[in-house]
Amino acid sequence: MTGTPEFEWRGRTGPFTVQLGEGVFRPSSTSMAIADALAISPGDIVVDVGCGCGVLSFVAARLEAQHVYGCDISEAAVAVASANAKRLGLQDVTGFRAGNLLEPVADVEADVVIGDVSGIPDAIAKVTGWFPGGRGGGPTGAELPVAMLEGAADVLRPGGRLYLPTGTIQAEESVLSAARRVFGDRLEVVLERNFPLPDMVLRSKDVGRLIADGVVNLSRRGSRLLWKLRVWLCTRP
């Protein structure tokens, strides 16, 4: 009989181990990058949208946030994150709610929003299995992040900060255009990293069309094709 799958977080504030559960997002290289980019001040109220198993919520809590509200459309993820908080002794400074994007935290006024929702095109998500059930961020990978950005100002205090990952494997400019509508010119890149794109992705005809259409933009290093991840600090006026 197979036990509950676990994941050892070796990123910032780790190591610590969390349980995953069926259909719960596994922390990724993007999760690691966002954790490295986070600046949390003691007393901050934090919202972690698309919290999955709760890893970034726990990083924020360990960086002395006053309280972290994690939310996820998956009820299974919320249940797993709540259980992980108890295992780590963080249940008093974290709370998890089920619902779409920022709707579950409409009553929260946050200093920080961690906006790590899927920005991967559906075609790439289907091939890679990076997301439970092959769910991505929409046909171009911009649709879900844009929907999240449209509600960000409703939960951020004036001067509040959103950490937004974007990548060259999505319609990145569409995401940034939405961010500028909310935050104006108060966008700043705080971290950049390059990652190789798995060969199986390049063999997909659907992904080939995204490349041909200019949605996906890759660079070459030797024989490897790379995509660039950027983490943006977006500050509400």
Residue 1 lies in a domain: no
Residue numbers of the domain that contains 164: 6-235
At 146-162, the pLDDT tens digits run 999 999 999 999 999 99
Residue 183 lies in a domain: yes
Given this model, what pLDDT does residue 1 score?
A: 39
Residue 102 lies in a domain: yes
Residue 159 lies in a domain: yes
Low-confidence ranges of the chain (pLDDT < 70): 1-2, 132-134
Residue 158 lies in a domain: yes
Residue 181 lies in a domain: yes
State the CATH number of the domain containing residue 46: 3.40.50.150
Given this model, what pLDDT does residue 135 score?
A: 73
**H/E/C letters for each residue in the chain?**
CCCCCEEEECCCCCCEEEECCCCCCCCCHHHHHHHHHCCCCCCCEEEEECCCCCHHHHHHHHCCCCEEEEEECCHHHHHHHHHHHHHCCCCCCEEEEECCCCHHHCCCCEEEEECCCCCCCHHHHHHHCCCHHHCCCCCCCCHHHHHHHHCHHHHEEEEEEEEEEEECCCCHHHHHHHHHHHHCCCEEEEEEEEEECCHHHHCCHHHHHHHHCCCCCCEEECCEEEEEEEEEEEECC
Given this model, what pLDDT does residue 223 score?
A: 85
Given this model, what pLDDT does residue 23 score?
A: 81
Neighbours of 193 (CB within 10 A): 16
Number of domains in the chain: 1
